[in-house]
């Protein structure tokens, strides 16, 4: 963690770089954006579908086994996966 003095020194260096060589400074922004995209987990549609099928089947098995509370927990987890899949497609990150 940087203290206030170090943070201000870093800002001054960044300002100087931006003034002296804007292309060099912008190259760091492009690298940062590329790294942020690479760090974002993005499961394929098939993985969500498999999780939904297994989650739903497990809920039915738990209900038949007489464990309604745990079945309810897995149903909630399955609904969360379903929501995540729908939300992923709304954001345009889904792959066909």
Positive or negative torsion for Cα 58, 63, 69, 72: positive
- Cβ-proximal residues to 18 (8 Å cutoff; 6+ apart), any chain: 25
Of the chain, the end-to-end C-alpha distance in Å amounts to 42
Domain extents for the chain? 4-39, 45-90
Cα separation, 93 vs 86, whole angstroms? 10
pLDDT digits (tens, 9 = 90+) for 1-16: 677 888 888 888 878 8
- Which tokens hold the place of 32? 């940062």
| pTM passes above 0.95 | no
Report how far residue 90's alpha carbon sits from residue 55's, in angstroms, rounded to the nearest whole number: 22
Confidence label for 95 from pLDDT (cuts 50, 70 and 90): very low
Mean pLDDT score of the chain, rounded to an integer? 76
Task: Assign 48 a pLDDT band (cuts: 50, 70, 90).
Answer: confident
Q: What pLDDT sits at residue 42?
A: 60
Tell me the H-state helices in the chain. Answer: 4-20, 22-39, 45-65, 68-90
């Amino acid at each position: 963690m940087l203290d206030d003095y170090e943070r201000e020194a870093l800002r001054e260096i960044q300002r100087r770089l931006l003034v002296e060589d804007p292309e060099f400074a912008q190259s760091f922004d492009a690298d940062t954006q590329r790294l942020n995209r690479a760090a974002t987990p993005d499961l394929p549609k098939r993985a969500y579908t498999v999780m939904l099928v297994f989650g739903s089947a497990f809920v039915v098995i738990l209900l038949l086994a007489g464990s309604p509370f745990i079945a309810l927990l897995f149903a909630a987890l399955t609904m969360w996966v379903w929501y995540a899949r729908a939300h992923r497609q709304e954001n345009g990150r889904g792959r066909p």
